[in-house]
Amino acid sequence: MPVHDWTRVRDGTFHHFHYSWVLEIMRALKRGLLPAGYYVMAEQFGGDVGAPDVLTLQAAGTQPESGSPLSGTATLTETPPVVHARTTIATDSYARMQRSLVIRHTSDDRIVAMIEIHSRGNQSSRHALRSFVDKAVAALDGGIHLLLVDVHPPGPREPNGIHGVVLNEIGTEEYVLGGERRLTAMAYTGGAVVEAFVVHFAVGEPIPPMPLFLTRENYVPVPLEATYLAAWDDVTAQYQQVLLAPS
C-alpha cells in the first residue's frame, strides 16, 4: 500500500495509526524475525534514551555482540541492505564526552536496538525536536542500534529531515534532502563510528523494508510496508476516505 499524506488529518488520527503500526512491527519481529535470545517490548523506559516505540533486548547470558554470527540474521558483508545512501560517520568525540549515558532496562537485559516512528508532535516546537534528537543520539552514543521512520514531510525546524538533524548532531557530515522523495527511513549502527542506511520515498509510494541491526554486522529486515498495511485497517473509515481522496 502506498504511503498516505498524513498532513490531511489531525495529529490524533495519526497518533492512533502510529499506535497500531508500532504493535504490528512488534508482532512481525516476534513472529520469527528475531533470533533466539532476543525479544521486543513496546514503550519501555530505557534510561537516558527515554521510552522509545519499540525496544529490542538481548536476554542476559546469551551470546555477546562480539561472538559468532547470529543464526537467522542477514549480514552486511553477504547481504548489504538496498538503500539510497550509506554513510559512515566518526562521531564527535568531544560532544560524546559531554553526555553521561546509563543504558539499562528494568529487567537487566541489554538494550541492543530501538525503533522510532516519527510523529508531527516531534516537530511541534524546538523543545520537542531537541528531545527527540537527544534520545536518538543518546542511543547511538550508548552503542544502541536505531531504526527511524518518518512519513511526514520536513518542517521549518528540520528542512533536511530528521536524518539531517541527527547527522549534524553526531558528527560533521553535511546532508541536504533534495528531490521530490522527502519522506525517509533510516537505520543506524550505534557506537563511536555510526553507519547510516537511508531510503527516500514519497506519498503514493510503498515503504521499502529496512534493516534493524542487532550487532554492527547482523540485522533483520523489518517489513515496514506489510506492517503499515495491517495498521491501516485500524484507521476509522471516514479518515481513510480523507486520506484516499484524490489530491
CA separation for the pair 230, 225 (Å, rounded): 9
Residue 1 DSSP code: -
Report the predicted TM-score, pTM, of the whole model to 2 decimal places.
0.88
Beta bridge partners of 89: 194
Beta bridge partners of 86: 197
Residue 33's SS3 state is: helix
Q: Beta strand 145-150 with 110-117: parallel, antiparallel or unpaired? A: parallel
CA separation for the pair 201, 180 (Å, rounded): 8
For the chain, the maximum distance between any two Cα atoms, rounded to a whole number of angstroms, is: 54
Residue 218's SS3 state is: strand
CA separation for the pair 187, 113 (Å, rounded): 10
Q: Render each residue's pLDDT in the chain as its tens digit; 247 residues.
A: 689 999 999 999 999 999 999 999 989 998 989 888 888 887 655 455 555 677 777 776 665 444 456 778 899 888 999 999 998 988 764 444 333 333 344 566 788 888 999 888 777 788 888 888 888 888 898 899 999 999 999 988 888 888 888 888 887 667 777 778 889 999 999 998 999 999 999 999 999 999 999 999 999 999 999 999 999 999 999 999 999 998 7
